[in-house]
């Protein structure tokens, strides 16, 4: 932010206080192009807003500082820091505004970075690459039309073969399903 005034049509003057320095920016719009020149002057900190005066050749900025009044005499594009008011008979007070400084003078704090979006965690049990798809529960792999699958071994061993062996109900000896009599004891097998 700076105090700004238009000293002459097309010629603006911006001034702001930064610590012990007074930064004066002269901006002129000539033939459609904006030209700016900033000058830093050691004036000491201000104690009051500045006053602006217009002169034929430029203007005067009156500053109230802790060390007393200071005057910045503007002639064209040159600035002069004075401890006493320049003897300019036609100096005419001009209004000023509190505006955005046209030049980025003090380092503005970097606009905070957008918050980091956390990485999407990989789905732990499946992944897909093109037409290949893999998942771990159950172990299964698909490539195009082909599917490989490995069931857990405990599941595969759960059911015994259906051709259950038969035993003689009399003596317990193993017998063939086709046997009608037990080969060990001759017991007549049912079924």
Rounded least distance, CB 162 to Zn ion, Å: 24
Cβ proximity to Zn ion: between 98 and 167 the closer is: 167
Q: State yes or no: residue 184 binds Zn ion (CB under 5 A).
A: yes
Question: Any idea how long the chain is?
Answer: 191
Distances (CA, A) of 72 to 14, 25, 134: 12, 12, 77
Tell me if 48 sits within 8 A of 64, measured CB to CB: yes
Stretch that binds Zn ion, among 4-12, 42-50, 125-133, 174-182 (CB under 5 A): 174-182
For Zn ion, give the closer residue by CB, 92 or 170.
Answer: 170
Residues 110-169, interacting with Zn ion (CB under 5 A): 168
- Cα angle 85-87-91, degrees, rounded to a multiple of 5: 85
Phi, psi torsion values for 153, nearest 5 degrees: -65, -30
Which residue lies nearest Zn ion, judged by its C-beta?
A: 182
User: Which of 57, 169 has the CB closer to Zn ion?
Assistant: 169
Decide: is 183 part of the binding site for Zn ion (CB under 5 A).
no
Smallest CA-to-CA distance from 11 within 25, 24, 29, 23 is with 29
Q: How far is the CB of 180 from Zn ion (least distance, A)?
A: 12
Find the part of the chain contacting Zn ion (CB under 5 A) among 38-46, 52-60, 111-119, 182-190: 182-190
Question: Which residue among 2, 72, 182, 189 contacts Zn ion (CB under 5 A)?
Answer: 182
What the block records as the tokens of 106 is 């003090």
Angstrom distance (rounded) from CA 80 to CA 87: 13
**Does position 171 bind Zn ion by CB under 5 A?**
yes
Task: Quote the CA–CA distance of 24 and 89 in Å, as a whole number.
Answer: 23
Question: Which residues contribute to the site for Zn ion (CB under 5 A)?
Answer: 168, 170-171, 182, 184-185, 187
């Amino acid at each position: 932010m700076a105090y700004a005034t238009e000293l002459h049509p097309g010629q603006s003057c911006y001034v702001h206080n930064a610590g012990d320095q007074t930064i004066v920016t002269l901006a002129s719009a000539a033939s459609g192009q904006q030209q700016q020149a900033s000058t830093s002057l050691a004036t000491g900190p201000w104690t009051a807003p500045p006053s602006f005066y217009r002169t034929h050749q430029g203007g005067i900025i009156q500053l109230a500082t802790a060390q007393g009044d200071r005057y910045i005499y503007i002639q064209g594009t040159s600035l002069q820091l004075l401890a006493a008011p320049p003897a300019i008979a036609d100096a005419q007070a001009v209004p000023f505004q509190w505006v955005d400084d046209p030049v980025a003078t003090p380092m503005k704090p970097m606009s905070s970075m957008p918050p980091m979006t956390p990485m999407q965690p990989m789905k732990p049990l499946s992944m897909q690459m093109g037409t290949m798809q893999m998942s771990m529960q159950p172990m299964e792999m698909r490539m195009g039309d082909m599917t490989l699958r490995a069931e857990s071994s405990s599941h595969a061993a759960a059911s015994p073969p259906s051709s259950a062996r038969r035993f003689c109900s009399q003596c317990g000896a193993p017998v063939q399903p086709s046997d009608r009599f037990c080969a060990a004891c001759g017991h007549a097998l049912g079924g």
